[in-house]
Amino acid sequence: MTKPRTMGVEEEFLLVGRDGSPVAKAQAALEASGYDDHDGGTGALEPEFMEEQLETATHPRTSLTDLAAEIRAGRARAQGAADHVDAQVVALATSPATFTGTTVSRVRYQEARRVFGMTAREQLTCGCHVHVAVHDDAEGVAVIDRIGPWLATVLALSANSPFWQGEDTDYASYRSQVWTRWPTAGPTRRFRTPEAYHAAVEALVATDTILDQNMVFFDARLSPRYPTVEVRVMDVCLDPDTTTLVAALVRGLVETAAREAADNGRAEDTDPELLRTAAWRAGRSGLAGDLVSPLTWRPAPAHDVVGQLVTHVRDALVDSGDLEVVTDLLGRLWSTGGGAAQQRAWFAESGDLRRVVERAVEVTHS
């Protein structure tokens, strides 16, 4: 067995005031805490698209235990910055309270707001991105070509955005609906070669519809900055344990796909329209209803489809030493129903979205 692949996690968080509403204080928080000179990257704390957000990034880690500790440390680091401006950091993928988003005063972000209009103005959404190391672009493209059918299941595990502008959307992940307004967001076709992948990116940039290659928001892509496959489909997870779970499963998917490619296993051609439909269904019901099984492309209970995912990556989880942890974390997730279910349960108890945010803050830093 070779050494397990390194993995890293980026998490985006809402900045909220004491009333639970988003507050536009990201730059002030970073300046007050001394993080204003950071230029992103691993271990960083930085602003995101909106002033009502902060983003953390872990260092690349081989050990799942080390990654879990760094995920919690990143959340604490973000809260330390928020303390300077009397705000709180909360892992909610959309705001339960009403909001008017404030775009960060960077030239690129302001240009995106001008070009994309309401799509940009309403992008107060928080995601989770998992990076897993690959040997080169050829291996990375082989991975991307194979993991697409399972990404809807990973989205369902992370679903954590039932409320939007003060209302229950009836979705488990409404963030996924808002996010797919971007022209390049979503699943992709099979590329087969690095040359074809890069040609597709260049063609998208050449349309002059997006600003640059960093706006190629595929569900899984070659990272423009690191030698990794970056999986971007997830909501930010309410519980840091769920983030750890998702990272382990994504690494398992990458390792499994790379092994299949190395063994000359054929990558199935899956129609992007099937992948989009499966992702929509995952965003709609999360873990509370049926998902589309990648084995049959028919509906099946979420518990069964998640079990199929674990079976698919089981050998990789065993070899990395992650299987026992994944099994334990999945048990905890099923006991709560996930972030969307917890938010709805809190609202059912109190009838108060402010209380939902307060409870979410507690779990964010648990």
> Structural domains in the chain?
7-364 (3.30.590.20)
Mean pLDDT across the stretch 80-101? Answer: 96
Longest dimension (CA), the chain: 56
Instruction: Quote the Cα angle for 138-140-142, to 5°.
Output: 70
At 217, the amino acid letter reads: F
State the first-to-last Cα distance of the chain, in angstroms, to the nearest integer.
34
Whole-angstrom Cα distance, residue 212 to residue 166? 34
pLDDT tens per residue across span 6-23:
999 999 999 999 999 999
Share of the chain above pLDDT 70, in %: 98
How high is the pLDDT of residue 258?
97
How high is the pLDDT of residue 41?
63
Mean pLDDT across the stretch 259-283? Answer: 93
Average pLDDT, the chain: 95
At residue 167, the 3 state secondary structure works out as: strand
How high is the pLDDT of residue 266?
78
How high is the pLDDT of residue 36?
57
pLDDT tens per residue across span 168-225:
999 999 999 999 999 999 999 999 999 999 999 999 999 999 999 999 999 999 999 9
pLDDT tens per residue across span 315-352:
999 999 999 999 999 999 999 999 999 999 999 999 99
Regarding predicted confidence, which is higher, 109 or 267? 109
Torsion angles phi and psi, residue 197, rounded to 5: -60, -50
Mean pLDDT across the stretch 152-173? Answer: 98
Mean pLDDT across the stretch 265-271? Answer: 85
Closest CA to 12 of 212, 185, 243, 182: 243
Specify the DSSP class assigned to residue 226.
S
DSSP strands (E only) in 227-363: 228-235, 290-292, 299-301
Whole-angstrom Cα distance, residue 345 to residue 343? 5
Give the distance from CA 238 to its chain's centroid: 11
Q: Does the pLDDT value for residue 115 go beyond 60?
A: yes
All residues at 6 or more sequence positions from 339 whose CB lies less than 8 Å from its CB, including other chains: 91, 92, 93, 158, 159, 160, 161, 235, 237, 238, 239, 242
Q: Does the pLDDT value for residue 280 go beyond 70?
A: yes
Structure tokens given for 120: 């940009």
Q: Does the pLDDT value for residue 37 go beyond 50?
A: no
pTM of the entire structure?
0.96
Torsion angle, CA of 47/104/92/15, rounded to 10 degrees? 80
Closest CA to 291 of 352, 338, 231: 338
62-76, 229-243, 259-273, 284-298: range with lowest mean pLDDT: 259-273
Determine contact, residues 37/45, Cβ cutoff 8 Å.
no
Phi/psi class of residue 21: alpha, beta or left (left: φ > 0; alpha: ψ in -120 to 50)? beta
Number of helical (H) and strand (E) elements in the chain, helices listed first: 15, 11
All residues at 6 or more sequence positions from 319 whose CB lies less than 8 Å from its CB, including other chains: 1, 4, 255
At 29, the amino acid letter reads: A
Determine contact, residues 146/260, Cβ cutoff 8 Å.
yes
Whole-angstrom Cα distance, residue 108 to residue 123? 15
How high is the pLDDT of residue 265?
74
Mean pLDDT across the stretch 243-263? Answer: 97
Residue appearing with tokens 């709180």: 88
All residues at 6 or more sequence positions from 3 whose CB lies less than 8 Å from its CB, including other chains: 62
Buried b (16+ CB within 10 A) or exposed e, 135-172: eeeebbbbbbbbbbbbbbbbbbbbbbbbbbeeeebebb
Mean pLDDT across the stretch 289-318? Answer: 98
Structure tokens given for 236: 């930010």
Q: How far is CA 114 from CA 108, 124, 307, 356, in A?
A: 10, 16, 44, 33
Per-residue confidence band for 40, with pLDDT thresholds at 50, 70 and 90:
low
Share of the chain above pLDDT 90, in %: 93
All residues at 6 or more sequence positions from 197 whose CB lies less than 8 Å from its CB, including other chains: 137, 141, 144, 191, 222
Mean pLDDT across the stretch 84-101? Answer: 97
Per-residue confidence band for 279, with pLDDT thresholds at 50, 70 and 90:
very high
Using only C-alpha atoms, the chain has a radius of gyration, in whole angstroms, of 19
Mean pLDDT across the stretch 58-83? Answer: 96
Per-residue confidence band for 39, with pLDDT thresholds at 50, 70 and 90:
low
How high is the pLDDT of residue 298?
98
At residue 166, the 3 state secondary structure works out as: coil
